[in-house]
């Protein structure tokens, strides 16, 4: 195409400006780098009718040939040091490189061009004041780019720069929304955890127990697994409170909780469901209720022997074992274990009398 054919009053130029306006519109709607690259590589070629275009991004001190649209492959995916390639020159000098004969120009690394079809090129920087990339146009024959072609490419580069900034802003906004959502989710999790946790012992509280135990029992029933529910009531807390103070009573509760947690399996659900009352749900328990009770009492005794405390840990323990076929509700199971515990407490009190 000659200069006359591509002058401001020519039909080609009008078409190219229309094409550019379309691209500007598309770029204003682009939301990610892929979309921008696609628009730029296609438009850059169509604006001048050249044989190839590249979309280059600055990557530190390298030029990254991010994308291309050409009659034969160029350098897509490659990175070159800024001073060794023409896109680097355009960015470092903040100027457009117009090169009608690449083999007559010292800025061109001739060896890199020899395997390619390129004979002439134009390279415009994206964001002239502080370039972040460049757009290349290549011709397979000798071509002296016209002022109009360069102007069109520069206008495309300016719109590309705004599109890239938009993407960055959108990206940051999206990231901020993601961060906030994650923080909210963490806060919600914390609230859920706090609302299900007993502050004194760190075990589940009554609400947490119901939530997890209901789930575990339903699951056990579906799978035909056996379940055991134990009710543990600390002995003599009132006496300790009255004689040694509420703080000591608290310490006693926390000690019992520690013994329960360390004696039971990690998968067992352990909760403080009242002042001095604990509930345990064990699915597929390793032992029957009687053995479990003996083990817990033994561990409480061991804790007493190991520590020089002003109080003794003791508890009454009742339990119920629920088979898969049973349809007792959690409340019914708790009631059964509580009654069993009460019988145990009575028996222990009587044993102390004799």
Ligand X SMILES: Nc1nc2c(ncn2[C@@H]2O[C@H](COP(=O)(O)OP(=O)(O)OP(=O)(O)O)[C@@H](O)[C@H]2O)c(=O)[nH]1
Q: Pick from 154, 166, 197, 241: which binds ligand X (CB under 6 A)? A: 241
Q: What is the closest distance, in whole angstroms, from the C-beta atom of residue 207 to ligand X in the complex?
A: 16
> What residues numbered 194-213 form the site for ligand X, per CB under 6 A?
none
Told to check if 114 binds ligand X by CB under 6 A, we report: no
Q: Are 126 and 135 in contact (CB under 8 A)?
A: yes
The reply on whether position 237 binds ligand X by CB under 6 A is: yes
State the minimum distance, in angstroms, from the CB of residue 341 to ligand X.
9
Q: Which residue from 148, 198, 235, 255 is in contact with ligand X, where contact means CB under 6 A?
A: 235
How far is Cα 96 from Cα 25, in angstroms, rounded to an integer?
24
250 binds ligand X (CB under 6 A): yes
Give the interface segment with ligand X, choosing from 26-34, 208-216, 221-229, 235-243 (CB under 6 A): 235-243
From 22-30, 98-106, 139-147, 231-239, give the range in contact with ligand X by CB under 6 A.
Answer: 231-239
Scanning the structure block, which residue is given the tokens 């300016």?
158
Return the residue matching tokens 């892929």. 34
Residues 288, 289, 290, 295: is their CA dihedral positive or negative? Answer: positive
345 touches 316 (CB < 8 A): yes
Q: How far is the CB of 284 from ligand X (least distance, A)?
A: 30
Q: Determine, following the binding rule CB under 6 A, whether residue 313 of this chain makes contact with ligand X.
A: no
Binding to ligand X by CB under 6 A, coded x per residue (else -) over 267-296, reads: --------xx--------------------
Least distance from C-beta 249 to ligand X, angstroms?
3
Residue 353 CB partners (closer than 8 Å, separation 6+): none
Torsion of CA 122, 127, 129, 133, to 10 degrees: -70
Quick one: which of 219, 246, 323, 346 contacts ligand X (CB under 6 A)? 246
Minimum CB distance to ligand X, residue 236 (Å): 5
Report the alpha-carbon distance of residue 33 to residue 112 in Å, rounded: 27
CA–CA–CA angle 163, 166, 168 (5° rounding): 115
Is residue 89 within 8 A of residue 97, CB to CB? The reply is yes
Q: How far is the CB of 348 from ligand X (least distance, A)?
A: 9
Judged by CB under 6 A, the stretch of 26-34, 245-253, 290-298, 324-332 that binds ligand X is 245-253
Task: Provide the minimum distance between the beta carbon of 188 and ligand X in the complex, in angstroms, as a whole number.
Answer: 27
Give the whole-angstrom CA distance, residue 275 versus residue 159.
Answer: 69
Name the one range near ligand X by CB under 6 A: 132-140, 145-153, 191-199, 239-247. Answer: 239-247
Q: Which of 188, 124, 184, 185 is nearest to 156 (CA)?
A: 124
Angle (CA) 68 124 111, round 5°: 60
Task: Please spell the DSSP secondary structure of 21-37, one letter per residue.
Answer: HHHHHHHHH--SHHHHH
Q: Quote the CA–CA distance of 271 and 321 in Å, as a whole number.
A: 18
| Continuous segment of H or E residues that includes residue 125 | strand 120-126
- The yes or no reply on residue 220 touching ligand X (CB under 6 A) is no
In this complex, which beta carbon is closest to ligand X, that of residue 26 or of residue 233?
A: 233
How many amino acids of this chain bind ligand X (CB under 6 A)? Answer: 14
Least separation in angstroms between residue 312's CB and ligand X is 11
The length of the chain, given as a count of residues: 354
Binding of ligand X by 49 (CB under 6 A): no
Q: Binding of ligand X at residue 342 (CB under 6 A)?
A: no
Taking CB under 6 A as the rule, does residue 149 contact ligand X? no
In the complex, the residues that contact ligand X under the rule CB under 6 A are: 233-239, 241, 246, 249-250, 253, 275-276
């Amino acid at each position: 195409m000659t200069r006359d054919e591509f002058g401001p009053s020519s039909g080609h130029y009008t078409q190219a400006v229309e094409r550019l306006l379309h691209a500007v519109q598309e770029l204003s709607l682009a939301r990610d780098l892929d979309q921008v690259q696609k628009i730029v590589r296609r438009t850059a070629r169509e604006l001048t009718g050249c044989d190839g275009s590249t979309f280059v991004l600055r990557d530190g001190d390298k030029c990254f040939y991010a994308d291309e649209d050409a009659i034969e492959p160029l350098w897509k995916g490659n990175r070159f040091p800024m001073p060794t390639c023409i896109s680097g020159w355009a960015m470092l000098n903040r100027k457009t490189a117009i090169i009608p004969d690449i083999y007559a120009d010292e800025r061109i690394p001739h060896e890199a061009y020899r395997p390619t079809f390129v004979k002439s090129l134009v390279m415009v920087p994206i964001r002239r004041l502080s370039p972040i990339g460049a757009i290349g146009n290549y011709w397979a024959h000798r071509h002296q780019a016209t002022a109009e072609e360069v102007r069109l490419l520069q206008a495309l580069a300016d719109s590309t720069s705004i599109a890239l900034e938009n993407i960055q802003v959108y990206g940051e906004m999206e990231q901020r929304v993601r961060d906030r959502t994650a923080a909210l989710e963490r806060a919600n999790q914390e609230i859920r955890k706090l609302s299900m946790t007993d502050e004194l012992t760190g075990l589940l509280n009554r609400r947490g127990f119901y939530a997890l135990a209901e789930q575990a029992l339903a699951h056990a029933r579906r799978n035909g697994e056996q379940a055991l529910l134990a009710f543990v009531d600390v002995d003599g807390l009132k006496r300790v409170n009255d004689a040694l103070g509420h703080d000591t009573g608290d310490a006693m509760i926390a000690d019992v909780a520690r013994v329960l947690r360390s004696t039971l399996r990690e998968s067992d659900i352990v909760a403080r469901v009242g002042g001095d009352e604990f509930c345990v749900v064990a699915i597929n328990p390793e032992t029957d209720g009687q053995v479990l009770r003996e083990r817990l009492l033994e561990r409480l005794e061991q804790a007493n022997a190991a520590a020089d405390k002003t109080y003794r840990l003791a508890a009454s323990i009742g339990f119920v074992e629920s088979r898969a076929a049973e349809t007792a509700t959690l409340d019914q199971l708790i009631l059964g274990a509580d009654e069993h515990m009460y019988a145990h407490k009575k028996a222990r009190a009587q044993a102390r009398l004799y």
